[in-house]
Chains A and B, each alone.
Chain A
Amino acid sequence: MVNEISWKIGGEAGYGIDTSGQAFARCCSRGGLNVRTVSEYPSLIRGGHNTFHVTASEGDLQSPKKELDMLVCLNKETVDRHYKQVKKGGIIVYDADEVKIETAKYRSDVEWFSVPLLAITVELKIDKVMRNTVAVGASIGLLDYDIEILRDMMGKKFAKKGESVISANLGAIDKGYEYVKKNYKGNFKAKLKKCTGPCARPLLNGNDALSIGAIKAGCKFISAYPMTPATSVMINLASVEKEYSIVVKQTEDEIAAVNMTIGASIAGARAMTATSGGGFSLMVEGLSLAGATETPIVIVLAQRPGPSTGLPTWTEQSDLKFALHGGQGEFARILIAPGDHEECFWAGVESFNLTEKWQCPVIILTDKHLADGFSTVNIDESKAKIDRGLLMTDAQAAKETDYKRYEFTANGVSKRAVPGMVNFMHVAVGDEHEEHGRINEDEGNRTDMSDKRNKKLNFILKELPEPKLYGPENAEITLISWGSCKGPVLEAMKELEAQGIKANFLHYIYVWPLKTEKLVKLMDKAKKTVVIENNKTAQLGALISEVIAKQVKYKVLKYNGRQFYPSEITEKVKEIAKNGKETELVVR
C-alpha cells in the first residue's frame, strides 16, 4: 500500500481550523512526506464553515486528492457537507457529545469514531477552542503516525509563549492520541509512516514562495492595497523589511499602489505590487503608463472568481484575457502563470529579470488555490541569476553626450538611466514621445515608436522556453492547460494511465507571449485535444485559436469557485476518450 493519506478537518470559523490544519500539514512535511493542501473559508470574519484539507504522500504528489481517508468533524455541518467525500473504509472522527447524529443514516461503509474532544478539554482545564488540537492528536493516533514530531513542533512553536501554553498544547495532543490508543478497536487501514528521505523541507503557500522569490531577486519596494488572495505577498515582505531593507507601503488604493511601484522603478529599485481582479481593474491605467514609459514593474494578479466581488475567498482562472488586454493602447507585456509552488518561487525571481531586461510590465497570474494552498518545496537558490538588462551605471554616464532614453534599437530595448546619473536627464512621459523622451505627435515617429514598444514581443517569444510536455510525445489525447491546473492534471494522468488511457500534457507557464511550436506539432498529431481550465469560457483555448487559428476541440471546465481535483479530470477525460460527442464538459 502507498504511504499516502488524505485528511480533512472542518468546523466553524473560530474553531482554529487553519491552525490545526497547518500543524497537521507541517507535521507530515517534517516526517519527510510530500504535502499538498487546500483550505476553504467563506468571506466572513466570524462564523461560516472552514475546512483544511491535507494530502500527504511518500510518493510523487502534485495535487490534493479529493477522496478522504479521514474526515475530522468539529461540528455537524462538517459531517453534512463532506461525509460523501470519504472513501469506502475511511473514517469519520467526531465528538458524539457535540455532534448528535445517527451515523447509520449517513453511511455505513465508513467507520465512525467518536472522540470526546470537548470532555477532554474540560478534564484538562484548557480552553474549549483547543478541541482542534485534541483532534489532531487523535488523528495521528488513528494513522499510527509519529506523535513525537507533533510534540516537538508544538514545543518549538510555543517556546516563546511560556511553559503553560506548551503544556496545554502537549496535554491536548497527548490526550487525543492516548484516547485513540486505548479505545479504538476498529478496522481503519490507512496508515502514515514518516520516511527517511529528505526530511524537513519548507512548506510554503504560493504567496510565500513568490514573495521569497521576489526577495531573492532583490525586490526592494512593494506598494499594495490589501485584497484576498494577494494580501500576504505584501505581508511577507513586511515581515522581513528590516532584515532585507525593503520599503513596504500600504497605499490608499490600487491606483496609488501601481503608480508608486512605477515611481520606485523609475528611481531604480526593483519594485512590485500585488492584487486581485478588482484591484487590477484600478491598476490598468498605470499598467499602460508603465507600457508607454517602458518602466519595469511586476504585478502579481492573484485571481479569484468574479465578476465584481464574486467569491472573494475562492478560486478561478478567469482573468487571463483581462491581464492580457487590460490597459489602453498597445504595448508589450509578459504573463507568467506558475503551476505550482516551486514555479511560484521562480516566477518571483524571473519576473524581475524579464521586466528589467525587456522594460515592459510583467504580470504574474496566480489564483487563490495556488496562493493559499501549501506544498513541500525544493528550492535551490544558487540557481537564481540577476539580469538587470540595459540599466546604466554612473561610469557609463560619464561618456554619454546625447542620451536617448527611447532610442530605436534592433530589439526595441533602449538604455535605461535613473535619476541621479549625470548626462542622462530625460522625462519619462505617457504621451507619445521621440527617442529623447520629448512629446512628439508626428506620424512617422508614432509608427516607429509603436513598433519599438511592440516588437519586443517577438524577441521575448524567441527567448522564452517552450511550454513543458509531460508524458509521451505521442498519445491519443493531448491535454493543454496553464497555471495552477498543472497539479491536478499531472495526478489525473497517472490515474488515466492506470486505466489504459494514454495522454500527454502541455503545460503553459508563460501564457504571453504564447509559444506555439510544440503546441502546433502536438495538435497535428493528437487524435483528441482537450483544454482544461478553471474558468467558464476557456480563455487559454480562445487565445490559442486566436494565435494559431486552430481549435482545441474539447474543453474541461470548472468554475464553481473550487480548483480541480485529479479524479474530476480523470473522469471527464475518460468520457472524451470513450465517446467524445460532447465537446464542453463542466465539473459542477
Chain B
Amino acid sequence: MKMNGEMMAIKITDLNTPETITWCPGCGDMAILMGVKGAIAELGVEQKDIVIVSGIGCSSYVPQYVKTYGVHSLHGRSLPVASGIKLANNKLTVIAEGGDGDGYGIGMGHFIHIMRRNIDLTYIVHNNAIYGLTKGQTSPTSKKGMVTKSTPAGSLEEPVNPEALAILGGATFVARVYAGDVVHMKKIMVEAVKHKGFALVDVLQPCVTYNSFNTYQFWQQRVYKLEDEKGYDVKNKWKALERASEQGMHADRIPIGIFYKEERPTYEDGVPEIRDVPCAKQPIDGIQIGKILERYK
C-alpha cells in the first residue's frame, strides 16, 4: 500500500486481532478504531514498540482490537498506567484511550496533572457525552439539560470543556476531531503521536444507542475545520482559548482540528538518567549499596 508517497511498513490488516468487535452497529467507536489503526500504519513505528492503554468503557475496548502491546486497565486510570509505562521506557510510543466519563469524570485528577507534566504520550478521548457501557447515564460532557436515565429532569450541570481546560492546563497539543471524518481524524492523530509532549485528541463520537442528541447529523451540520480558517494560528494560546471556550462540543458551530500547539521540554527531558537507557532496561544485577550505608554511619 502506498500513502503519502512512502512505502508503508505496516499494513492495516497487520493490526487486526482475532477479537470480535462488540460495539453497536453504527457506533462512532468503529470509526475511531479505523483512525487509530490508520494512524499507526502511517507512523512507521513498529507494532512491538507501541502500547495502547485504556480505561473502562465502550471506548476502552480499543486495545483488544489493535495488534500492539496493550493494557486495558481500570475506569479512569489509563493516564497513570500510561505515564508509568512511558517513564519506565521512554523509547515506547504510548497512546492512552478512553471515554469522556473515564477521562473527564473519574479520571479528571490525572488528566489535569498529566498536562502540566507534559509527558510525551497521546490521549484519545472518545467523547460521546454519555456513559455508554453502563447504559446511558449523564456524563461530564453531557449538554446542560440533557435527559438521561440518571437525569430524567435534565442534567443541571454545565459540561466540561476539555479543549479549554487543556489549553489552560498546559497541554502542548490540543485537538478536537470528529468520528464522522476518518481521514481528517487520522491525520490529526498522526500529528498528535508525532508531537513531542502530551497531546489531547478529543473525538466527537456519536453513541447511537444512548445519546439521541449528539448524533452524526448534529455534528455533521456544525463542524468546521480550523485549518480552513484564514489566519488561525495554532501557536496563539489566547485565541485558541477563546475559540475553545466559545465553541464547545454542543455549540452551533464546532471547530475541529488543532486548537493549540506548543514546543516545551517533556517531563522525560528533565530526567536525563533515563534518556539513553530507559530505567526498565537497566541491568539490576550487582548493584552496590555500600556507599549509601557509609553515609549512615
Contacts and interface: CB of A to CB of B under 8 A. Distances in A.
A217 B273 CA distance: 18
Interface stretch (B76-84, B189-197, B254-262): B76-84
Contacts of A204: 296
Interface in B251-282: 271, 273-274, 277-282
B92 interface: yes
A264 B268 CA distance: 14
A327 B73 CA distance: 15
A266 B297 contact: no
B48 A260 contact: no
Given A215-B287, A220-B88, A426 B69 contact: yes
B70 to A, nearest CB: 4
Contacts of A242: 273
Contacts, number: 198
Interface residues of B, number: 58
A270 B284 contact: yes
A218 B284 contact: yes
Contacts of A362: none
Contact of A259 (B17, B73, B273, B279): B73
A381 B285 CA distance: 12
Contacts of B91: 420
Given A220-B88, A252-B113, A264 B280 contact: yes
A260 B80 contact: yes
A450 interface: no
Interface residues of A, number: 65
B297 A30 contact: yes
A286 B77 contact: yes
A223 interface: yes
Among A216, A244, A420, max chain B CB count under 10 A is at A420
A269 B273 CA distance: 14
B88 A271 contact: yes
Contacts of A215: 287, 289, 292
A261 B19 CA distance: 28
A427 to B, nearest CB: 4
A271 B84 contact: yes
Interface string A214-233: 01111011010000000000
A268 B89 CA distance: 8
Among A256, A286, A289, max chain B CB count under 10 A is at A256
A217 B287 CA distance: 8
Given A266-B81, A419-B85, A438-B18, 16 more contacts: A200-B297, A218-B282, A247-B88, A256-B77, A257-B80, A259-B84, A262-B84, A263-B83, A267-B89, A268-B281, A269-B279, A271-B84, A425-B47, A425-B69, A426-B69, A427-B64
Interface of B: 17-19, 47-51, 53, 56, 63-64, 67-74, 77, 79-89, 91-92, 109-110, 112-113, 271, 273-274, 277-282, 284-285, 287-290, 292-294, 296-297
21 contacts: A29-B297, A30-B297, A216-B287, A218-B282, A221-B280, A245-B273, A247-B271, A252-B110, A260-B81, A260-B83, A263-B86, A264-B84, A266-B81, A267-B84, A418-B89, A420-B49, A426-B69, A430-B56, A430-B73, A430-B74, A439-B64
* Ranked 7 nearest A-B pairs via Cβ: A263-B84, A218-B284, A260-B84, A427-B70, A259-B80, A267-B88, A268-B280
